Amino acid sequence: MLRVAGVQDSWWEVLPESARQLSAELARIDAYLDDERFIAPWRAVFAERLGRPSVPVETLLRLLYLKHRYQLGYETLCREVADSLSWRRFCRIPLTAPVPHPTTLIELVRRGGPQTSEQLNAALLGKLVEDKLLRCRKLRIDTTVIEADIDHPTDADLLEHGVRKLGRPVRRIKAAGAARRTRFRDRSRSAGRRLKEISRTLRRRTGQALGEIDRLTGEVAAIAAATLRDVAAVEHNARRALRGRPSGRLAHLVGELTETVAGTRRLLEQTALRLAGTRKIPDRLVSLADPDARPIRKGKPQHPTQFGYTALVAEAENGFVADHQVHRGNPADAPQLVPSVERVTALVGRVPGTVVADRGFGTAANDRALAELGVGRIGLQWNGTPGKARREYERSRPFRRMRSWRVGIEARISHLKRSFGFRRTRLRRLSGAQIWAGLGILAYNLHRMAVLSR
């Protein structure tokens, strides 16, 4: 059941003024969030009258701001709010009431989904436009990588994880009373021993290390294949038991097992290709825990390959992020430019006067499309060898000034990664990355509003 506001607490009046006063930043954000448009996205998530009362939406919004503003875990967030009078008052939690439990906040964020964070960002940007804080006369656009919350993947490590992960639902299915007499051997220890041998082999730094690693990887693949053969019988008998005795928990376990089997089979195919000499495998699976994550190469010397998602960021002239998108894999930059400018145009009601981006967005088709939209100054540096006229234009003073301004978005992205959790998503799958990025952008824009409103 939806609860918009909590119970008013008269005990705050007992405290001295210095203890009740919020900092300038929190006071501005507290007043800015007092708007029905930030409550509306949650009305579709909760029933108006049925169910257990939720955490008040005004409390939830402020807790999420503090979490992403200071990059706190849910447990640390709840502990810090409980220990701080200022943060407790900002979150509108009475002195006599407990702080919401961390698991409750996690469930509410997941229940809201990426559409809720998208609607919250749209509400905030609309309010900034109304208050004339966001004008978007100039726009600079770039893409970056949001890393998934996974370890650096190797074929042997992924297969060993698959062997371990297959054993968990099998044990739970047997404990639930299905496929009890079906033979299953847990080979996780055998796979783990091979993985330790690979670690010892890597330390030798000899010419024979690569061949030894390939041999051990093949042994892990054989262990995974034998485990899949056992699991196939368990899955078949569990489905038979599910037909005779419907069970929500058993159906969930069988579904989890089926998904893990499909992922492990895909890892076996990838490993076979790699051992056969194929190094480039399209749409490669790099995690069973986060199957939407993909390897992404952006040409950075310190991070040649990253694993996660690609995010587009469009920044206005006064630092607000006017548009962002999170995608699976590494789609081309150029096709994303015009849709982003169109979304910003629909937001502010007019076309940006200046649009700049790096070489990944620079094509003649994008120049023509932006000119047709009405963009007056286009600062896209084209790929390849430019002709004489284009070379003279790119050497002109106006273009060089636009190019110098474009570089500033690298600092903005670095700021988002350092201070607002944009470096690595702690929520898995594409929907989780979209929620994480959306809440981080929401916290950043609120903080930027507080800075500019001084």
> Pick from 385, 384, 372, 368: which is nearest to 345 by CA?
372
Q: Give the C-alpha separation, 111 to 42, whole Å.
A: 10
| 3-state percent breakdown (helix, strand, coil) of the chain, nearest 5 | 60, 10, 35
Query: Quick count: other Cβ atoms within 10 Å of Cβ 362?
Result: 21
| Residue in the block written with tokens 């600079």 | 140
- Radius of gyration of the chain measured on its C-alpha atoms: 26
User: Which DSSP string corresponds to 389-411?
Assistant: HHHHHHTSHHHHHHHHHHTHHHH
| Residue in the block written with tokens 């993985």 | 195
> Pick from 294, 307, 311: which is nearest to 422 by CA?
311
Structure tokens at 362: 């620079």
pLDDT of residue 286: 93
Low-confidence ranges of the chain (pLDDT < 50): none
pLDDT of residue 17: 73
DSSP, res 10: G
Q: Give the C-alpha separation, 393 to 56, whole Å.
A: 56
H or E element: which one contains 261?
Answer: helix 248-275
pLDDT of residue 439: 96
Q: Give the C-alpha separation, 367 to 346, whole Å.
A: 20
> Pick from 72, 109, 145, 116: which is nearest to 427 by CA?
109
Structure tokens at 313: 């960021």
Q: Give the C-alpha separation, 227 to 267, whole Å.
A: 13
Separation in Å, CA 75 to CA 206, 333, 362, 433: 46, 38, 45, 20
Separation in Å, CA 135 to CA 78, 322, 348: 36, 10, 7
Burial 134-161 (b: 16+ CB within 10 A, else e): bbbebbbbbbbbbbbbbeebbbbbbbbb
Mean of per-residue pLDDT scores for the chain: 90
Q: For residues 38 and 119, is the Cβ–Cβ distance under 8 A?
A: no
Largest CA distance in the chain: 79
Ordered by start, the domain boundaries in the chain are 10-113, 133-150+294-452, 155-275
Q: Give the C-alpha separation, 373 to 358, whole Å.
A: 19
- pLDDT tens digits, one per residue of 411-444: 999 999 999 999 999 999 999 999 999 999 999 9
Question: In CATH, which of 3.30.420.10, 3.30.360.10, 3.30.930.10, 3.40.50.720 is domain 133-150+294-452?
Answer: 3.30.420.10
| Amino acid (one-letter) located at 413 | I
User: Which DSSP string corresponds to 134-176?
Assistant: ---SEEEEEEEEEE-S-PPP-HHHHHHHHHHHHHHHHHHHHHT
